[in-house]
Amino acid sequence: MTDVSRAERERSVDVDVIAALRGALPGLSAAETKVAERILADPTLVVDLAITDLARLCGTSLSTVARFAQTLGFSGYRELRVEFARAVAVAQAEHERFGLDDTLIDLRDDIETVAAKIGAHEIGAIEQTVLAVDFAMVEHVAAAIARAPRIQLFGHGASSLTAQDMQFKLARIGYAATHSGDPHVAVAGAALLVEGDVAIAISHSGETAETRRSAEVARAAGALTVALTNAPNSPLDRVCEVALHTKAKEAPLRMAAMSSRIAQLALLDVLFVRVVQHRGESVNEPLRATRRAVIGR
C-alpha cells in the first residue's frame, strides 16, 4: 500500500471538467454517452439549460442526466453546472488572450492564426495541468524516486519522447534510470525491478496496451508503479498504485501529440525539481561532471 491512497487521489479537484468528460466517455452507459456527446458539441448547454431542458434536448430522462453528473464525480446536476460555467469562462479567457474566436485549427488558417492557436492550446494545457496538480501525490513520488536504486520509464509513440526526456534528466544527476521504446525490452526490464524501485508509465489516453503491460509486470515485481496520464480511471490508472494527471486537450485537427506532450513535460519537470530538492547538494557534482563532458560538443 502507498502512503497516498487511490481514494484520496479520486477526491482531488478536476479543474477542467470538459477534459474529464472526454476521459470518462469509454466508461459511460449508452444513455449517458448521448448526453456527453451533446454537451461536448456545445459545452454552454449545461450553463444555459436546466436539467429538464437538457434531458429533453438529449432525448433522455432526468434520472439519466442526474446519474451522468454523479458518474463524473459530482453530487448532482447543480454542481456539474457550476463546474461547466467555470470551464467555459476559462476557455473564453484563453480565446480573448490570443484574439481568437475559436482555437480549433482549420486547414484554411494562415500561419499567424496557426501560431496563435497552438500557443493558446499549449499554454492552456500547462496552466490547467499545474492548477490541478495533486501536490501530495507528486511529493510521494519524488520521495520514492529520491531513494530508489533504479527508475524505469515506459512510454511508446509520442510518450516515448517524454519518457526519454525524464530519463536523461535523472541520468544527469546520477540515477540508474532507463527507458526503451521497444515493448519487449521494456517489459523484460520491468520483470527485473524489485521493491524500492520506481516505474513510471506514460500514456496520454491511458489505454496503450504495451505500456499497461509493462506497468503490470513492474508492479508484480515489487516496484512502485506511477501512471502519468490524461485520463483518470483509465486502464493504466487502474493498474498503477499512484497516478499523476495532466489536463491537456488535443484539437481534432492534430498532426502529432502537441498539447499532451507539453503537459506531460511540465508535470515531469515539477516532479524532477522536487527530486533534486530531496537530493540536495549531492546532485551538484553529477551535474558539473555531465556539463563538463558535453562542453564543446
Query: What's 167's domain CATH number?
Result: 3.40.50.10490
Q: Identify the DSSP state of 26.
A: G
Mean pLDDT computed over 38-52: 87
5, pLDDT greater than 70: no
169 and 274 in contact (C-beta within 8 Å)? no
Q: Is residue 110 part of a domain?
A: no
194, pLDDT greater than 70: yes
Q: Of the candidates 42, 60, 93, which is a domain's last residue?
A: 93
**Are residues 288 and 196 located together in one domain of the fold?**
yes
**Are residues 189 and 275 located together in one domain of the fold?**
yes
Mean pLDDT computed over 269-278: 93
Mean pLDDT computed over 156-173: 92
98, pLDDT greater than 90: no
Q: Is residue 78 part of a domain?
A: yes
Residue from 157, 151, 222, 147 nearest 183 by CA: 157
pTM: 0.68
Q: In which domain, by residue range, is 198 found?
A: 135-294
Q: In which residue are the cell numbers 483518470 written? A: 232
Q: Is residue 248 part of a domain?
A: yes
pLDDT band at 4 (very low <50, low <70, confident <90, very high): very low
Q: Is residue 89 part of a domain?
A: yes
**Are residues 39 and 147 located together in one domain of the fold?**
no
Structurally, the chain folds into a number of domains equal to 2
154 and 214 in contact (C-beta within 8 Å)? yes
**Are residues 174 and 282 located together in one domain of the fold?**
yes
**Are residues 252 and 191 located together in one domain of the fold?**
yes
Q: Of the candidates 42, 74, 93, which is a domain's last residue?
A: 93
Q: Is residue 109 part of a domain?
A: no
**Are residues 24 and 76 located together in one domain of the fold?**
yes
Angle at 50 between CA 48 and CA 45, to 5 degrees: 35
Mean pLDDT computed over 210-236: 95
Angle at 295 between CA 291 and CA 297, to 5 degrees: 125
246 and 260 in contact (C-beta within 8 Å)? yes
pLDDT band at 202 (very low <50, low <70, confident <90, very high): very high
Q: Is residue 120 part of a domain?
A: no
Q: Is residue 98 part of a domain?
A: no
**Are residues 67 and 183 located together in one domain of the fold?**
no
pLDDT band at 13 (very low <50, low <70, confident <90, very high): very low
Looking at residue 90, what is its pLDDT? 65
103 and 95 in contact (C-beta within 8 Å)? yes
Q: Is residue 118 part of a domain?
A: no
The kind and range of the H/E element at 52 are helix 51-58
**Are residues 143 and 215 located together in one domain of the fold?**
yes
Name the percent of the chain in helix, strand, coil, to the closest 5. Answer: 60, 5, 30
pLDDT digits (tens, 9 = 90+) for 70-87: 988 899 999 998 888 877
Torsions phi, psi for 228 (to 5 deg): -120, 105
pLDDT band at 233 (very low <50, low <70, confident <90, very high): confident
239 and 225 in contact (C-beta within 8 Å)? yes
